[in-house]
Structure 1
Amino acid sequence: MSDCCSNGTYDLAVIGAGSAGFSAAITAADSGARVALIGYGTIGGTCVNVGCVPSKALIRATEALHASSAAKRFNGIEVTSRLTSWSDVVRQKQQLVDELRGVKYADLLPSYENVDYIEGQASFGKDGALFVDGTAFAATKIVIATGTRPSIPSINGIKDVPYLTSTTALEQETLPSSMLVIGAGYIGVELAQIFARAGVDVTLVSRRGVLPEAEPEIGAALAGYLSDEGISIVSGISYDRIAKHKDGVELIVFEDGSPRTIVADKVLLATGRTPNIESLNLQNKGVVLNDVGGIKVDKQMRSSANDVFAAGDVTGEDQFVYMAAYGAKIAAKSAMGLETRAYDNMAMPAVVFSDPQVASVGLTEAQAQESGFSVKTSILTLENVPRALAARDTRGVIKLVANAQNGILLGAHILAPEGADSIQTAAMAIKCHMTYQELADMIFPYLTTVEGLKLAAQTFDMDVKKLSCCAG
């Protein structure tokens, strides 16, 4: 490891020391390249520090709190639980974050002798040369993997109120009495449920409804389940302004043309993420941005500058840690001239860790139609899945999207308590261009959630209510 720029030219400079940055650096190092990994701020990036790991740790913790009320669905069972110290919950979460940051990131660096870790802020000078903390830095190729940060919505007055983001909310050791969550995408949904289960009075506000990018049947069903847990949902609105209030903050929205005021102790902004590019001075290098404000890349992760590649959330696309690592491998290999492998997200699974979980892969019905397919769909509620009946938890729906002309699966969308563990089966089916008939004919284990995929596939052509157990 190094604290300053080394003499000589590196084969590859990787800007950003998160999951994408590490993946690119390790991939290049394994090929024998001399690599500079340039980090700025906390090593490890979003996922381990402020994203996946801390949020999922708190989701699991609050699931335990929710278990007492959920157990009531079983006769003869009574369970009680209570929160004794939210600060202890948050500190335990932080211990896990600190441990994984070391094991999965900082402690790995000494294993790679040809990777120098350099702490500093990278930028491009007026002649397009790379600088780190103002000092010229020589590298043949560059991979940018600087990630994203929480977006701040353009609501009047937002800069004048104290707000939480997905980062700072997970660090709060004291729970507010009430919370206003602005944004009902996957971040807003997960955080709203965490705090509601911890005892906070939560209002979830969104212009387009819960999970607006998901299948409408799934978004609507999840909204109902969140409401059942006491989360107030306000959607189909436009924002007027936000301001301080004697009880915290007040948000004024227009709902059906009429103003509505929502007051809460705290406000949490969950309106997406913004690529970290400002300090790079990309215009000096001629790096072009895409329509979502990220670095525009081709299928080999090349930017508009011949010697610059980009991967991960900074591209503004497919903002999942596994896709960041996947894209970064391609970027590093492309930069090193090792292969021309193309980035392929056709069978990219995505999960929202709500309860029930939302898992999807491939195209939605609307996306398939927009792509020119003649579309055929099946929709199966969990009342038809034996696993759900045995668990006495039939919250959820499974929707499959297929090409009506040849039956090939185009998309799979699951809302179920264990939906995340089933989506990879659908991803493999789509990757292999299976038809829904072939999926329906496969052998699935009985009394599993994943069996719902078989039943949903059968639903294209038959009424599964008329099947006996295990038939098919």
Structure 2
Amino acid sequence: MTVEEKNVDIAIIGSGSAGLYALGRVKASGKSFVLINGGEQGTTCARVGCMPSKVLIQIAEDYHRCGILGRYGVEGHKSLTLDGEEALGHVQDLRDNFVDRVISNSTAQMSDEVFLEGYARFIEPHLLEVNGKRVRADKIIIATGSRPVIPKPWQAFGDRILTTDTLFEQEQLPESLAVIGLGVIGLEIGQSMARLGVETTGFDQLETIGGLDDPAVAKAAIEIIGRDFPLHLGHPAEITEEGDKLRVTAGEHSVVVDKVLASLGRRPNLDNLQIENAGIDLGVHAIPAYNPNTMQIGDSHIFLAGDVNAERPLLHEAGDEGRIAGHNASSDQIQAFKRKTPLAINFVDPNICHVGKRWSELDYAQTAVGEVNMAPVGRALIMGKNKGVIRVYADKVSGKLLGAEMICAKGENLAHLLAWCIEQELTVGQLLQMPFYHPVIEEALQAALYDLYAKVETKNSGPITELKMID
């Protein structure tokens, strides 16, 4: 029996952020295409990632802020109570709104001819099967995203183990929570839950948190975040059942909780694609070798974009990767693209940010480091958020800015400024000739840059504060 095949120029597997950005480039090329999606629609960011987590963070920050109003003479602040069901309902309402916006502006407008719902698998290098239908494509873009990691033994504990896929479906806040894995998600949710009144405890087998590897910033972060909830580092966590609760043990520390948030990273959704039928080797880490500047797997007709490659699991990076994959899948020749300056922001309070080169990537003999402690910064002191440190890195000879790590108030804004400056290959001296208002958090960055400027060899032709003459 002959199975009917649909023939297209390009098949895109996955309608998340990377897939939708790839689709934009493919549509513009005029090539024929199909978009295939299995499971929930609406992008990881809108459904279970960036957006619902930021709603929860905002609720927690506002509630926490109310609790310290007494220092300003506001009476009655201690009698404020939180309705957990109402708070989580608000998170879900906004989450649904974000998801609906994504769907209504993308797949909802597509016909059944070009949007196929179902899980795809490779039959041959150019042939896919989706719910019994077959699609033959000249080029294929894999943008299937990722899913939370849950160790197999933990799966026996059922719904007492939460992930970001299930956290935002909860109708009540737990009385107690253990967060295992203190990367971006673990820190954000852990601090938020603690500020909402949940008895929260954090665990990580690493000696650092938030992906920090600058020792000065990591030390400050552990001290600051540890004031909101206890952090137990350096030992792997084990879970055992204790009645209807769970006991989490790591080293000498043990706690009994109602729920556990497993925040152990994410696994690429590649294992059910049967990509070996396309002649692709998954490699040591179960991810095919690909070029991050072209998104092409080897010299094949297949491209990998977004969280599925586990390289830079961030929405703006997924967008760039989708655009690159879409462009190359639509073109006769493969074009390499320069990737943007790395930028990562953890929305804990205060923000933890990484920009450009990481501490572990630096050549310490050729790198100058500038630093400022947030304690005396006027604007931060006024806000009651003068905790943290900013560390900026530059090439010792040229003075070009290389990167930064920080934990500070409004770090999300400072990180963008620094990323833009690194992208423009500016020197420390050039940055210090920019205008700085008063009083603003940016003055803390200015102080760190002054410290850095004293340690680089390349100086401005005149004093930093000298105005440029008009010809």
Partner of residue 379, structure 2: 387
Do structure 1's residue 215 and structure 2's residue 214 form an aligned pair?
A: yes
Instruction: Work out the CA distance in 2 between the residues paired with 1:125 and 1:272.
Output: 30
1:433 maps to a residue whose letter is E
Give, in angstroms, the shift of residue 172 of structure 1: 1.2
Partner of residue 285, structure 1: 278
Give 2:330's match in structure 1, choosing from 336, 339, 357.
Answer: 336
Partner of residue 325, structure 1: 319
- Per the normalisation by structure 1, the TM-score is 0.89
Q: Secondary structure at the match of 2:248?
A: strand
> For this pair of structures, how many residues does the alignment match?
451
- The 1:81/1:432 distance shift into structure 2, 3 A limit, reads farther
Give 2:400's match in structure 1, choosing from 381, 386, 408.
Answer: 408
1:323 maps to a residue whose letter is E
Partner of residue 176, structure 1: 174
Instruction: Work out the CA distance in 1 between the residues paired with 2:335 and 2:454.
Output: 41
Q: CA RMSD in A?
A: 2.6
Quick check: 1:40–1:119 contact (8 Å CA) kept in 2? yes
Give 1:308's match in structure 2, choosing from 298, 302, 309.
Answer: 302
Instruction: Work out the CA distance in 1 between the residues paired with 2:4 and 2:326.
Output: 21
Q: Secondary structure at the match of 1:283?
A: helix
Partner of residue 57, structure 1: 55
1:285 maps to a residue whose letter is A
Q: Secondary structure at the match of 1:53?
A: helix
Partner of residue 150, structure 2: 152
Partner of residue 461, structure 2: none
Instruction: Work out the CA distance in 1 between the residues paired with 2:111 and 2:243.
Output: 57
Give 2:28's match in structure 1, choosing from 30, 35, 41.
Answer: 30
Instruction: Work out the CA distance in 2 between the residues paired with 1:445 and 1:130.
Output: 57
Partner of residue 122, structure 2: 124
- The 1:217/1:81 distance shift into structure 2, 3 A limit, reads farther
Give 1:351's match in structure 2, choosing from 345, 348, 358.
Answer: 345
Instruction: Work out the CA distance in 2 between the residues paired with 1:462 and 1:364.
Output: 21
Partner of residue 205, structure 1: 203
Query: Deviation digits for residues 112-131 of structure 1, max 9, x if unmatched?
Result: 68982110110112566221
Instruction: Work out the CA distance in 2 between the residues paired with 1:366 and 1:410.
Output: 12
Quick check: 1:14–1:143 contact (8 Å CA) kept in 2? yes
Query: Deviation digits for residues 61-85 of structure 1, max 9, x if unmatched?
Result: 111110123434x543454574442
Structure 2 unaligned regions, length at least 5 = 456-463, 467-471
Alignment of 1:99-138 (within 5 A): 99-109=97-107, 116-125=114-123, 129-138=127-136
Instruction: Work out the CA distance in 2 between the residues paired with 1:117 and 1:340.
Output: 26
Instruction: Work out the CA distance in 2 between the residues paired with 1:110 and 1:170.
Output: 24
Instruction: Work out the CA distance in 1 between the residues paired with 2:290 and 2:81.
Output: 47
Q: Secondary structure at the match of 1:136?
A: strand
Quick check: 1:357–1:418 contact (8 Å CA) kept in 2? yes
Q: Secondary structure at the match of 1:21?
A: helix
Do structure 1's residue 459 and structure 2's residue 443 form an aligned pair?
A: no
Instruction: Work out the CA distance in 1 between the residues paired with 2:81 and 2:465.
Output: 45
Query: Deviation digits for residues 219-252 of structure 1, max 9, x if unmatched?
Result: 22222222222x111011134x321112511123
- The 1:396/1:292 distance shift into structure 2, 3 A limit, reads farther
Give, in angstroms, the shift of residue 391 of structure 1: 2.0
- The 1:63/1:339 distance shift into structure 2, 3 A limit, reads farther
Structure 1 unaligned regions, length at least 5 = 464-469
- The 1:392/1:366 distance shift into structure 2, 3 A limit, reads same
Give 2:15's match in structure 1, choosing from 17, 35, 41.
Answer: 17
Query: Deviation digits for residues 410-468 of structure 1, max 9, x if unmatched?
Result: 102231221102211101111111122221222122222233222211112459xxxxx
Do structure 1's residue 398 and structure 2's residue 396 form an aligned pair?
A: no
Instruction: Work out the CA distance in 2 between the residues paired with 1:20 and 1:83.
Output: 41
- Select between 219-228 and 116-125 the one with higher mean Cα deviation: 219-228
Instruction: Work out the CA distance in 2 between the residues paired with 1:126 and 1:274.
Output: 24
Instruction: Work out the CA distance in 2 between the residues paired with 1:471 and 1:70.
Output: 40
Instruction: Work out the CA distance in 2 between the residues paired with 1:447 and 1:291.
Output: 52
- Select between 430-439 and 121-130 the one with higher mean Cα deviation: 121-130
Quick check: 1:286–1:304 contact (8 Å CA) kept in 2? no
1:244 maps to a residue whose letter is E
Quick check: 1:396–1:414 contact (8 Å CA) kept in 2? yes
Q: Secondary structure at the match of 1:277?
A: coil
1:267 maps to a residue whose letter is V
- The 1:300/1:18 distance shift into structure 2, 3 A limit, reads same
Q: Secondary structure at the match of 2:391?
A: strand
Instruction: Work out the CA distance in 2 between the residues paired with 1:185 and 1:50.
Output: 16
Q: Secondary structure at the match of 2:106?
A: helix
Partner of residue 445, structure 1: 437
- Per the normalisation by structure 2, the TM-score is 0.89
Quick check: 1:128–1:284 contact (8 Å CA) kept in 2? no
Give, in angstroms, the shift of residue 328 of structure 1: 0.4
Partner of residue 466, structure 1: none
Instruction: Work out the CA distance in 2 between the residues paired with 1:222 and 1:88.
Output: 31
Give, in angstroms, the shift of residue 10 of structure 1: 1.5
- Select between 322-331 and 80-89 the one with higher mean Cα deviation: 80-89
Quick check: 2:399–2:427 contact (8 Å CA) kept in 1? yes
Give, in angstroms, the shift of residue 305 of structure 1: 5.7
Instruction: Work out the CA distance in 2 between the residues paired with 1:355 and 1:153.
Output: 29
Partner of residue 467, structure 1: none
Quick check: 1:22–1:105 contact (8 Å CA) kept in 2? no
2:245 maps to a residue whose letter is G
1:297 maps to a residue whose letter is Y
- Select between 142-151 and 339-348 the one with higher mean Cα deviation: 339-348
Give 1:161's match in structure 2, choosing from 146, 157, 164.
Answer: 157
- The 1:291/1:215 distance shift into structure 2, 3 A limit, reads farther
- The 1:274/1:34 distance shift into structure 2, 3 A limit, reads same
- The 1:141/1:340 distance shift into structure 2, 3 A limit, reads closer
1:246 maps to a residue whose letter is G
Give, in angstroms, the shift of residue 384 of structure 1: 4.1
Give 1:195's match in structure 2, choosing from 193, 196, 210.
Answer: 193
Quick check: 1:409–1:436 contact (8 Å CA) kept in 2? yes
2:430 maps to a residue whose letter is E
Quick check: 1:374–1:404 contact (8 Å CA) kept in 2? yes
Partner of residue 226, structure 2: 227
Give, in angstroms, the shift of residue 55 of structure 1: 0.6
- Select between 300-309 and 283-292 the one with higher mean Cα deviation: 283-292
Quick check: 1:29–1:112 contact (8 Å CA) kept in 2? no
Instruction: Work out the CA distance in 2 between the residues paired with 1:81 and 1:17.
Output: 46
Instruction: Work out the CA distance in 2 between the residues paired with 1:81 and 1:153.
Output: 41
Q: Secondary structure at the match of 1:300?
A: coil
